[in-house]
A and B are shown apart, each in its own frame.
Chain A
Amino acid sequence: MADYRVIACEVFKEELLLGLSVPAEKCLFLPQGLHRTPDQLGVELQKAIDQLDEEGGIDRIYLGYGLCGNGVAGVKSCRSRLVIPDSEDCIPVLHGLPGVGQGRAIDRITSYYLSHGWIAYGKDGWKEYERCLTIFDQETAYWCVKEMLKHYKRFTLIDTGMLSHAEDQAYTHKVSTFFGLEDGETQGSLDWLESLLREDPAFNLTVLPGVALETRLFAVNRESGGDTAGKGLDKSLSQAGGKG
């Protein structure tokens, strides 16, 4: 029977391996920072998919990504269907399914979100500050990072129930205090990632082998202004032919 694989951003590593007990041998994690260079994210993701296509033996690949700056647009598999959360990026996925729990109230404008994966693998204000200290004096390093954070009011930890929660809380508190921001926390959930592995079409997009993921398939674009963004796109079309 054909098997599956998960290709995901490191930000979801603990949630997938420990939270949802996905066997490690079925997962491939790519570096967390690729969303900063969406073109590169697409290249790396396609390379990983091509590798799985070459190895054969699988018929579905679950992508632990969102649209991520359009970085996933254009990727496709020759042999497997691709399933991906219908989300702009990891932040809503970590919050959990729409309409479930309080954590769904996402405030990107004033909250700088952290999660276990962001803390473990990402580049946040504190890590950037430590890097800057190797280049600049303390005052300049602090100025640079404060400037990067100037529009944010708080660091908000998304609690997805990982074992490291107490450590992550302490880290969030330390960073918030250091940069003079509020220290926040919101309830996250594993349910969106879980729905991905179930291929729930209500929250995830599926494209068939040979069909590329497209920007217009994602809800963030379907809901926007006009035709080029896919307004009114039929959900069945958005799934590019269903699961096959």
Chain B
Amino acid sequence: MAVLEDLKNAIITYKPAKAKEYTLQALAEGYEPPQILSEGLIGGMTVIGDKFKRNQIYVPEVLIAAKATHAGLDVLKPLLSERKTKPIGKVIVGTVKDDLHDIGKNLVAMMLEGAGFEVINLGVNVDPDKFIAAIKEYEPDIVGMSSLITSTLHWLEDTIKAIQEVGLRDKVKVMVGGAPVTEEWALQIGADGYGKDATSAVEAARKLVGAA
């Protein structure tokens, strides 16, 4: 288990090259990719997420820790795909129209992948039509939307309404998040789930697909 602890620490101490090295070492030592993912990579990012929530670290630290996690994920992804493990659910994620903030949304996407979801990341400035097209194309279980600034918050509600108007609302669960989003607001606008941070977003997603 020492190598998984080293891997976790490489993420917590912001060392992408080390994270890749320890991921390769863990594989060489015979650890299974899902265990390396959950105990090493996601274990590290969970600590980072917790520190961020407590204002002990800030966005740059999260970015470099995410880069370290991706360095390990890049090694594991082909191996995880080969195993053809059925994902626990399919999620499309995107930042709403007129909003280009994606750090938190990408963090949630990564944590969801780590938790066993298939994630389709639509990027930033995603208008309601693009969300709708993606629902039709990918038939996800969950649509996750993020808004970081007050001026784009209304797009969460507008997108939910647009999904409803084309008759797709009962086909998907909707999760929302972002700094100005509160649980109360999420419920008011008709979302099914809300994540205050990346860890709780994963918990909410697991609940929505009945995996919690």
Q: Which residues of A contact B (CB under 8 A)?
A: 36-38, 66-71, 88-89, 108-109, 128, 131-132, 135-136, 140-141, 143-145, 147-148, 151-152, 215, 220-221, 223-226, 228-229
Contacts and interface: CB of A to CB of B under 8 A. Distances in A.
B150 A69 contact: yes
Nearest to B59: A148
A226 B157 contact: yes
11 contacts: A70-B150, A108-B98, A144-B60, A144-B63, A145-B60, A147-B60, A148-B60, A224-B154, A225-B161, A229-B154, A229-B157
B151 A108 contact: yes
B20 to A, nearest CB: 15
Interface string B128-164: 0000000000000000000001110110011001000
Contacts of A135: 14, 60-61
Interface residues of B, number: 29
A90 B125 CA distance: 22
B179 A69 contact: yes
Interface stretch (B35-43, B72-80, B181-189): B181-189
B111 interface: no
B180 A228 contact: no
Nearest to B155: A224
Contact of A144 (B64, B100, B101, B158): B64
Given A69-B180, A70-B185, A151-B100, A220 B154 contact: yes
B188 A228 contact: yes
A67 B179 contact: no
A224 B63 contact: no
Contacts of A143: 64
Given A89-B150, A141-B60, A147-B63, A70 B180 contact: yes
B146 to A, nearest CB: 13
A108 B185 CA distance: 23
Contacts of B150: 66-70, 88-89, 220
B124 interface: yes
B55 interface: yes
B103 interface: yes
Contacts, number: 87
A148 B161 CA distance: 31
Contacts of A220: 150-151, 153-154
A140 B64 contact: yes
Nearest to A88: B150
Q: Which of A38, A69, A147, A215 has the most CB of B within 10 A?
A: A69
Interface in B61-88: 61, 63-64
A135 B64 CA distance: 11
Contacts of B154: 220-221, 223-225, 229
A224 B103 CA distance: 25
Contact of A88 (B55, B151, B158, B161): B151
A224 B157 contact: yes
B158 A225 contact: yes
B9 to A, nearest CB: 16
A228 B190 CA distance: 10
Contacts of A38: 179-180
B189 A228 contact: yes
Contacts of B125: 109
Contacts of A148: 59-60, 63, 103
A25 B154 CA distance: 38
A224 B158 contact: yes
Contacts of B157: 224-226, 228-229
Contacts of A69: 149-150, 179-180
B55 A37 contact: yes
Given A109-B100, A145-B60, 16 more contacts: A37-B55, A68-B150, A69-B150, A69-B179, A70-B182, A88-B151, A89-B151, A128-B58, A135-B61, A140-B64, A151-B124, A220-B150, A220-B151, A224-B157, A225-B158, A225-B161
